[in-house]
Amino acid sequence: MSGGQRVDWTSRPAGPLNGVVRVPGDKSVSHRAMMLGAIAEGVSRIHGFLEGEDTRATAAVMQQLGVRIDAFADGERVVHGVGLHGLRAATGALDCGNAGTGMRLLTGLLAGQAFDSTLVGDESLSRRPMRRVTDPLAAMGARIDSQDGLPPLHVHGGQPLRGIHYTLPVASAQVKSALLLAGLYAEGETEVIEPHPTRDYTERMLAAFGWPIAFSPGRAKLTGGHALRATDVRVPADFSSAAFFLVAGSIVPGAELRLPAVGLNPRRTGLLQALRLMGADIRIENAGESGGEPVGDLVVRHAPLHGIELPEALVPDMIDEFPVLFVAAAAAEGATVVSGAAELRVKESDRLASMAAGLKALGVRIEERPDGATIHGGPIGAGRIGSHGDHRIAMSFVVAGLVAAGPVSIGDCANVATSFPGFMELANGCGFALDVAG
Ligand code: S3P
């Protein structure tokens, strides 16, 4: 949840949607680039850093830890790396804001330092489970105090770490990354094995910064005691931000949108496959590579969608896209069945509960289960829903408003700035009818 004032939005039926939509930089890549740049030797440049509250919080934390970061327009950042052992104790608590990625990765990074640190977050982050990182880090020798598994976290410095061979109980790139970052400071080998492969940005970026690492889908292995060499990072556009426009373009009659140079890492694009299974018309043009990541323009045209039984194998590859998938399902013909997605209950909000409450308030039939839901396509009514302090819930209901019978009012939308600054302007620029509720 954003710390600012409460802002409500109203999204009205609109269309057709048209134009070029340039979504901002990838959140996951921006967090990692900032952290690795900070502990590398030399000066790293980040192009296309996400100017969102989450990633700015991570940059501010690195500054508090003694790293000089120069900020320029359009997401240009110059990070003056201090080397693996060059961070200094901060004077106060380190505020990760709304960012689970920030807090979990920093916990791993800080476990290897010589000094103590305290990590705090906003109301939503303060409810998110941290044992998934603190338990395996403790097994590596770290000492971390939590509030019964929740933030704030106090990370004790000066603890010698040893490598670990760890099989993750849940597929989580954040947990994997926390362990790999701690592994940089550990004696011996750290290996992480995942039940399902998750996004591999930490692995790819460690390699780009010159750290020896072996990885393949579902496995990553490194040893401590090397050095990171500064490098330049080009951040692709965030697929998770593009997702709102992919669904909007699919469900609004007459729509045609182009989203240039979006990151298409296969561990992120599950929604693309899901929407195509539902009948969506989404093409990739100008496919290429940028900064070692596959990128391409996404071109979406309106197409009638039908319900599907979502293959469970797609769940980790679209873990952040379920709120907007539920909107696509509500606008589709027939039922969509989601299962194997219990992790949605521990995101920025309980996303199964938040989406079920919001869709019901708009007259959509949805049956919620512990690990998923069945969403019945049909008319979407006008109404008032709450974002539950969750940026992706807010933006998903903006998309629902496009095809609703009347205005959809969404309570508490300031949190959209955590991941998608400028969302309202971009949306209205291509034909949405979105404004601040009076
Ligand atoms: C992220 C991993 C995912 C995702 C989050 C970003 C990352 O979380 O939901 O938005 O950057 O590593 P989990 O690791 O909890 O699945």
pLDDT tens digit sequence for 372-399? 999 999 999 999 999 999 999 999 999 9
pLDDT at 423 over 70: yes
Cα distances (angstroms) measured from residue 431 to each of 4, 19, 283: 27, 8, 21
Q: Which of 191, 141, 199, 202 is nearest to 166 (CA)?
A: 191
219 and 260 housed in the same domain: no
pLDDT at 3 over 50: no
**How far is the centre of ligand 1, averaged over its atoms, from the C-alpha of 27 (Å)?**
10
135 and 257 housed in the same domain: no
Q: What mean pLDDT value characterizes the chain?
A: 97
Q: What is the pLDDT of residue 62?
A: 98
Q: What is the pLDDT of residue 290?
A: 85
Strand partners, 144: 155
Whether the Cβ atoms of residue 213 and residue 189 lie closer than 8 Å to each other = no
41 and 189 housed in the same domain: yes
- Look at residues 216, 234, 252 and tell me which one is the last residue of a structural domain: 234
Does the Cβ of 222 fall within 6 Å of ligand 1? no
Does the Cβ of 418 fall within 6 Å of ligand 1? no
**Ligand 1 atom nearest 132 alpha carbon:** 15
Whether the Cβ atoms of residue 406 and residue 380 lie closer than 8 Å to each other = no
Q: Is 238 designated active site? A: no
Annotated catalytic residue within 54, 122, 238, 320: 320
263 and 210 housed in the same domain: no
Q: List the residue whose alpha carbon is closest to atom 4 of ligand 1.
A: 320
**Ligand 1 atom nearest 199 alpha carbon:** 12
pLDDT at 223 over 60: yes
Q: List the residue whose alpha carbon is closest to atom 10 of ligand 1.
A: 320
296 and 187 housed in the same domain: no
pLDDT at 213 over 90: yes
Tell me whether the omega of the peptide bond preceding residue 152 falls within 30 degrees of 0, making it cis: yes
pLDDT per position as a tens digit, 80-129: 999 999 999 999 999 999 999 999 999 999 999 999 999 999 999 999 99
Q: Which of 175, 196, 235 is nearest to 317 (CA)?
A: 196
CA distance 316 to 197: 8
- Look at residues 190, 216, 234 and tell me which one is the last residue of a structural domain: 234
242 and 375 housed in the same domain: yes
**Ligand 1 atom nearest 175 alpha carbon:** 14
For the full predicted model, state whether its pTM sits above 0.75.
Answer: yes
Q: What is the pLDDT of residue 4?
A: 58
What's the number of domains the chain is made of? 2
| Phi-psi region at 182: left, alpha or beta (left = phi > 0; alpha = psi -120 to 50) | alpha
Of residues 38 and 290, more confidence is placed in 38
32 and 116 housed in the same domain: yes
Domain ranges, residue 378 = 2-25+236-436
Tell how many helices (H) and how many strands (E) occur in the chain.
Answer: 12, 23
Q: What is the CATH classification number for the domain harbouring 145?
A: 3.65.10.10
Q: What is the pLDDT of residue 292?
A: 82
Q: Which of 336, 327, 430 is nearest to 385 (CA)?
A: 327
Q: Return the number of other C-beta atoms located less than 10 Å from residue 436's C-beta.
A: 10
